[in-house]
Amino acid sequence: MARKELAKAYEPWDVEEKWESHWEAEKTFTPDPDGPGDPYSIVIPPPNVTGVLHMGHALNLTLQDILCRFNRQQGRNVLWVPGTDHAGIATQNVVERQLKAEGLTRDDLGRDKFIERVWEWKKEKGDHILSQIRRMGASVDWTRECFTFDEQRAKAVREVFVALYEQGLIYKGDYIINWCNRCHTALADDEVEHENKPGHLHHIKYSLADGSGDLIIATTRPETMLGDTAIAVNPDDDRFNHLIGKTAILPLVGRELPIIGDSYVDVEFGTGCLKVTPAHDMNDWEIGRRHNLEVLSVLDEQGMINDNAPEKYRGMTVQAARAAVMADLEAEGRVVEVVEHDHSVGVCYRCKSVIEPHVSTQWFVSMKPLAEKARAAVPDKTQIFPEHWTKTYYQWLDEIRDWCISRQIWWGHRIPAWTCEECGELIVAKEDPTVCPKCGSSRLVQDEDVLDTWFSSALWPFSTMGWPDDTKELAKYYPTSCLVTGFDILFFWVARMMMMGLQFMGEVPFHHVYIHALVRDEQGKKMSKSTGNVIDPLDMIGKYGADALRFTLTSFAAMGRDIKLSEQRIEGYKHFMNKVWNATRFAMMNLPDVIPDADVHEASDLADRWILHRLEEVKETVASATNDYRFNEIAQTLYKFIWSEFCDWYLEMIKPALYGEDERAKEATQRVLWTVLSETMILLHPVTPFITQEIWNVLPRPAGDDRSEDIATLPFPDKRPDCRDERAVAEMELFMGVVSGTRNIRTELLIEPARKLDLLVKTVSDADKAVLNANLDLIKSLARIENLTIGPDVKGPKASGAAVVQGNELFVPLEGVVDFDAELARLDKNLAKLEKTMKGVSGKLKNPGFVNNAPAEVVEGEKTKLAEMEEEKTKLTQLKARLESVMG
């Protein structure tokens, strides 16, 4: 059989497609629940079917994949479940936009036809995100792919809804909710994003009903005064507490408003008097409940003024009504003042429209009983990393309100509740009822609303395992081991999964929650299309390969620290992939078809002893860093080991043995080379699966090595305690110090790289002398030395470049090597030219006319230029001083 070879250059695209298809076809990542190994499981945070891969997804997938591939190496039985979320509002919006382009609405189609249309879209476009996940190399079990709206998940949703209803934890009632006029649906509190926006604080005069005076009310929303049903003051506020029990007249309407005392009122805000509109403010709603106030809504579901307001305002938008109300108040002399005031405005997390508090009949989950269990489980049963997110988790649970779970859309899990048209009986059932259990009528009408998308995704850790059926997956893999997710869905998803897992499985859904940071641009700004700073992961994979992107993200994934990403960094790690590839090609050219049967424990050469010791340290660091979620340390450890130690030092040091005539020494080195290279590929594999698989597939093997050609199935390399060799480390540090010290002298004094030098080393001990003499030829080769003298009595000539390594003095004679006078003259000339240029730039920056009138980027450019020249001047001055010191 012809020997397999690596291509001359690493072209990731063909490699990635080949191995991605291989792993899926071979079901490499499909575990057997009855198979050996302790369970390790992860459920993928299901991306929306409307979504496309962004850099946050790329980071999330990379970190999950590292954990899964590493735990397979540890012999664990690993399940990583993929899937997507039906994304009720977002998906319906996509299809409705398609219909609009055709001149249609969902009402033109009707509910059933519209749902059919959405399923058609899902079949055609909804799996696009999954193909992108494949391109990242995610080692998920594609045979267990789930969808939050598929048949099994629908079964789980009904089971949970009915159970919670029967337990009294789901109820239907009138309540104030967040309403999106654009999406025409209710939103949960945590689906509302808050933006700080400029506005105004309107000070309006309300007259007391008994004619004894006026109250000044400050409000940001004067149009809602049409729905006022009280005025509140703080009972501890001596300015106003004597008015409690009196009434005031509502301007423009004439309604009499009771003045009530409530400690919610902030005496420092506005005037200290609060208009209470229970139908249009969450806090006013609570005040209204405490004081049994009338709830009067003056806005309809389209965001228009309704019939509960005076006739002249009906049919107006919020903005039009605000202008009209203020104009009428001004005409009556009731506007005291209007001041600018920035305030927080709630917007829909999907369409960014301003949210209106709205009183409506909705379905709710009573959250406090569930929240108490979820709070108590952290950190005893579930740990959150980084730990500081635990406080945020607690805070949200402590302040939790009942969860509005009904949505006024068509795409989603329809609420399993029916009303009998004959007797009004409400029926909640797992299976569609055919007759009313109370009166026997078949005239049953199902609730029009669907469930909040987060309701189905809250069941994800156990519904993906086949619950409510009693499955092997559920018995083996629940609770899951770790959840990797972003902080932005700590409340939307993580806390709710905790509640549902504890309620229905009697156990937490995951033991660890790892909250990864944001991926920002290189200036630390959040990526967004509007600012044009988005880095598309698919573009980066197309340019540099998936492994380069994955390694970049891992390198900067320090716990709790946002990632500042640039394309240049990804390109830099593509160079690292090339380095790995080229190092392997060099090794392949110097390895036989069958690796020699030599015992690496018996290695005697310094380079072999040292690299084997370092390999053991790297194994230990990679394992501990992965277990502790120190992802950046995994990448940085492997990068330093492969590039700096294996490539730059070890491969150079072993060339004499590989090219020499001593066959025994050659075979021993070949065995060490193969061992280090092959085990390094296994260590690197969880971070960069494609290149390591391609390399592993062509590496020669020792006789009798029948390990799989699929690196994804191989175990983590065993420890070799006998290869720990601190003496080799100490000797190598001395060796490297001498070579690097000599190279530094050459660089500092601008001696051309090809020129051979003499080197004298004054040693401080016989042991150091012995180490250097034992490696004399290597030092000469790597440092490009002609003559090397080593000993305790060595003296350097006057004109020498010098350095000190562990107390040993290095001298490089410079007589005849450097023309000191010519070099000093050149430096003086360059310094004079540089100082002249610096003076001109400095003069510009001191000129107010230039600084104030030139474009900002031009001024910044001149500042950068001056800083660079100052740095260059410092280097030239230091070099001049170095030459002068050498000359004595």
Residue 203 has pLDDT above 90, yes or no: yes
Residues 245-259 have a mean pLDDT of 95
Q: Does domain 728-813 have CATH number 3.30.2320?
A: yes
Distance CA(696)–CA(673), nearest Å, equals 14
Distance CA(46)–CA(445), nearest Å, equals 32
Supply the Cα-derived Rg of the chain in whole angstroms.
Answer: 36
Higher pLDDT, 184 or 628: 628
What mean pLDDT, rounded, does the chain reach? Answer: 92
The pLDDT score that the predictor gives to residue 193 is 82
pTM above 0.85, yes or no: no
The pLDDT score that the predictor gives to residue 270 is 87
For the residues of 702-721, what is the DSSP string, one character each?
A: ETT----S-GGGPPPPPP-G
Distance CA(309)–CA(314), nearest Å, equals 6
For residue 607 the two structure tokens come to: 């380079």
Distance CA(626)–CA(448), nearest Å, equals 48
Residue 358 has pLDDT above 90, yes or no: no
Residue 232 has pLDDT above 50, yes or no: yes
Residue 696 has pLDDT above 90, yes or no: yes
Fold of 820-887: Helix Hairpins (1.10.287)
The pLDDT score that the predictor gives to residue 392 is 93
Residues 310-321 have a mean pLDDT of 93
| Least confident window among 318-327, 588-597, 853-862 | 853-862
Q: What is the pLDDT of residues 276-306, one digit of tens each?
A: 999 988 889 889 988 999 999 998 888 899 9
Question: Quick one: what percent of the chain has pLDDT higher than 90?
Answer: 73
Residue 190 has pLDDT above 70, yes or no: no
With bands split at pLDDT 50, 70 and 90, how would you rate the model's confidence at 764?
A: very high
Q: What is the pLDDT of residues 60-115, one digit of tens each?
A: 999 999 999 999 999 999 999 999 999 998 899 899 999 999 999 999 999 999 99
Residues 499-521 have a mean pLDDT of 96
Residues 530-556 have a mean pLDDT of 94
Distance CA(120)–CA(100), nearest Å, equals 17
Residue 349 has pLDDT above 80, yes or no: no
- Residue 773: closest CA among 800, 744, 804, 734: 734
The pLDDT score that the predictor gives to residue 41 is 98
CA angle in degrees (0–180, nearest 5) for 246-248-251? 175
The pLDDT score that the predictor gives to residue 359 is 83
- Residue 759: closest CA among 737, 733, 726, 732: 737
The pLDDT score that the predictor gives to residue 698 is 93
How many Cα atoms sit within 13 Å of 163 on the Cβ side?
Answer: 11
Distance CA(661)–CA(35), nearest Å, equals 50
CA angle in degrees (0–180, nearest 5) for 352-357-362? 105
Is the link from the previous residue into 379 a cis peptide, with omega within 30 of 0? yes
Residues 418-433 have a mean pLDDT of 96
For residue 15 the two structure tokens come to: 């490699």
The pLDDT score that the predictor gives to residue 188 is 67
The pLDDT score that the predictor gives to residue 493 is 93
CB 484 within 8 A of CB 42: yes
Domain 540-724: CATH superfamily is Isoleucyl-tRNA Synthetase; Domain 1 (1.10.730.10)
Distance CA(852)–CA(618), nearest Å, equals 55
Higher pLDDT, 342 or 338: 338
Q: Are strands 480-486 and 510-516 parallel, antiparallel or unpaired?
A: parallel
Residue 429 has pLDDT above 60, yes or no: yes
The pLDDT score that the predictor gives to residue 627 is 98
In the chain, what's the furthest Cα-to-Cα distance?
Answer: 115
| Least confident window among 254-268, 729-743, 751-765, 845-859 | 845-859
| Buried b or exposed e, range 55-75, using 16+ CB within 10 angstroms | bbbbbbbbbbbbbbbbbbbee
Q: What is the pLDDT of residues 767-822, one digit of tens each?
A: 999 999 999 999 999 999 999 999 999 988 878 888 889 989 898 898 888 777 77
Residue 1 has pLDDT above 50, yes or no: no
Question: Quick one: what percent of the chain has pLDDT higher than 70?
Answer: 99
3-state secondary structure 493-542: HHHHHHHHHHHHCCCCCEEEEEEECCEEECCCCECCCCCCCCCCHHHHHH
Between the CA of residue 140 and those of 29, 82, 143, 726, what are the distances in Å?
6, 6, 9, 41
Domain 31-158+459-516: CATH superfamily is HUPs (3.40.50.620)
Domain layout of the chain by residue ranges: 31-158+459-516, 185-356, 540-724, 728-813, 820-887
Which CATH architecture describes the domain 185-356? Alpha-Beta Complex (3.90)
- Which 3 state secondary structure label does DSSP give 240? coil
Q: Which residues are annotated as a binding site?
A: 529
Q: Which residues are annotated as a binding site for ATP?
A: 529
CB 568 within 8 A of CB 639: no
Distance CA(617)–CA(629), nearest Å, equals 18
- Residue 383: closest CA among 508, 506, 475: 508
Residue 2 has pLDDT above 70, yes or no: no
Rounded to 5 degrees, φ, ψ at 712 are -65, -15
With bands split at pLDDT 50, 70 and 90, how would you rate the model's confidence at 116?
A: very high
Residue 250 has pLDDT above 60, yes or no: yes
| Least confident window among 181-185, 249-253, 607-611, 732-736 | 181-185
- Which 3 state secondary structure label does DSSP give 157? helix
